[in-house]
Amino acid sequence: MTFSKLSSTLARVGTLSAAMLAPAIAFAQDATATAAAAAAPVPDKGDTAFMFISTILVLFMLVPGLALFYGGLVRSKNMLSVLMQCTMIGAVVMLLWVFYGYSFAFGGGTSPYWGGTAKMFLSGVSTSTTAATFSKGVVIPEFIFMLFQMTFAAITPALIIGAFAERIKFGAAVLFCALWATFVYFPIAHMVWDSNGMLFKMGALDFAGGTVVHINAGIAGIVGALMVGKRVGFGKDMMAPHSMTLTMVGASMLWVGWFGFNAGSNLEASGGAMLATVNTFVATAAAIISWSIVETFTRGKASMLGGASGMVAGLVAVTPAAGIVGPMGAIALGLIVSPLCYFFVSVVKNKFGYDDTADVFGVHCVGGIFGALATGVFASASLGGVGYADGVTMGSQVVVQATAVITTILWCGIGSAILYKVVDVIIGLRVAPEAEREGLDLASHGEAAYHNS
């Protein structure tokens, strides 16, 4: 046999051997793939449905909830301007979130301050990718996690505009909120809620957004109120809310939507979500009662404005604690927060004379600071909470909570001041006095909320 024939024969034998082994190789590959698939956690349909409903409820908080709440608090000539600002800000931030916000907050980067660019334009996010929850081996579809967090990002900057309503340019409000979401909200969300975030690694407790949402928005609000300036006629003209009916409707929608906000932050339809639900009921109820009692003693009458303010104050205070404290702790939060916020909106505000139209600072920031610090106390198992991590004491946890509060105040306060100045240089913050007297509905949008016909 020549060398060439021998080579040919060996080649045929190799081909036959490969052909005979192919089924076995394919079987082994299928078995490996099946084992890998079995090992990978699969989202539970119940958790997915729960998160979908929670996401829609948070959207309900923004439109129409927050829009109507703020709309009722302003004068009738500015009703539509507030509705439009809430609507447009929400829409803009939703797009920014899918463009780069989700990546900046939860992009998987190792930086303690931002999540990186890996998931910009939702790169790598698909129907098959998942996001972890708080339970080992439990996941939800990444799309619904992304959307749930998107609704938080959308409503938070909209909260700010209540502080300087009735005198800011429409374009200025939208541009500021877009910049603020980019340079303030996204980084703070990463620091607090991402596993690589600075405050997360420190052990800061913020179940649903005491620092990320309420302190953040409240600080930006007071900085804006001071930099935009007081309304024309402030302290002289009648500036009472034009429709407490709509404010009550909006506040009630906020309460309903807040169950998505708080319970949804558990990320699973489990006992933790139900604890957050119970706490959202009882803390809010306690705060309404507490605010009304304080008003009765100080003013002689309990007002609907006070009832709505107490409702929001209770919701704000329990937000960072919702899935962490027990029901009795939540009631204590509600009872304490209302007198505290009432003092700021009725005494401190008048003492310093700043024009915070919808009391964003007095309710959201003050209530958020109290809730964040009190979470460190009422998280104690001895007080009915879920308890601290190993080796953590009440004192050390409160110190961590205070660090998170101070970090948020500084980051947001300095960043917001810079961004307001940037917007003022680019397009100006404030409308002309004539437009303000006419009302922003007509001056900025060419519409009127009400017609006498």
Other CB atoms within a 10 A radius of the CB of residue 27 amount to: 10
pTM score, whole prediction: 0.91
Ramachandran assignment for 354, one of left (phi > 0), alpha (psi -120 to 50 degrees), beta (any other): beta
- What is the enclosing helix (H) or strand (E) of 304? helix 304-318
Residue-level pLDDT, tens digit, the chain, 453 residues:
454 554 454 445 444 444 445 555 555 555 555 554 456 899 999 999 999 999 999 999 999 999 999 999 999 999 999 999 999 999 999 999 999 999 999 999 999 999 999 999 999 999 999 999 999 999 999 999 999 999 999 999 999 999 999 999 999 999 999 999 999 999 999 999 999 999 999 999 999 999 999 999 999 999 999 999 999 999 999 999 999 999 999 999 999 999 999 999 999 999 999 999 999 999 999 999 999 999 999 999 999 999 999 999 999 999 999 999 999 999 999 999 999 999 999 999 999 999 999 999 999 999 999 999 999 999 999 999 999 999 999 999 999 999 999 999 999 999 999 999 999 999 999 999 999 999 999 999 999 999 875
* CB distance 408 to 219 below 8 Å: yes
- What is the enclosing helix (H) or strand (E) of 231? none
Burial classification of residue 14, based on how many CB atoms lie within 10 Å of its CB (0-12 exposed, 13-18 middle, 19 or more buried)? exposed
**Cα 386 off chain centre by:** 23
- Helix segments in 132-238, DSSP class H: 142-160, 170-180, 186-193, 198-202, 216-228
The C-alpha angle 288, 379, 184, rounded to 5 degrees, equals: 75
Other CB atoms within a 10 A radius of the CB of residue 431 amount to: 22
Q: Which of 350, 196, 208 is nearest to 277 (CA)?
A: 208
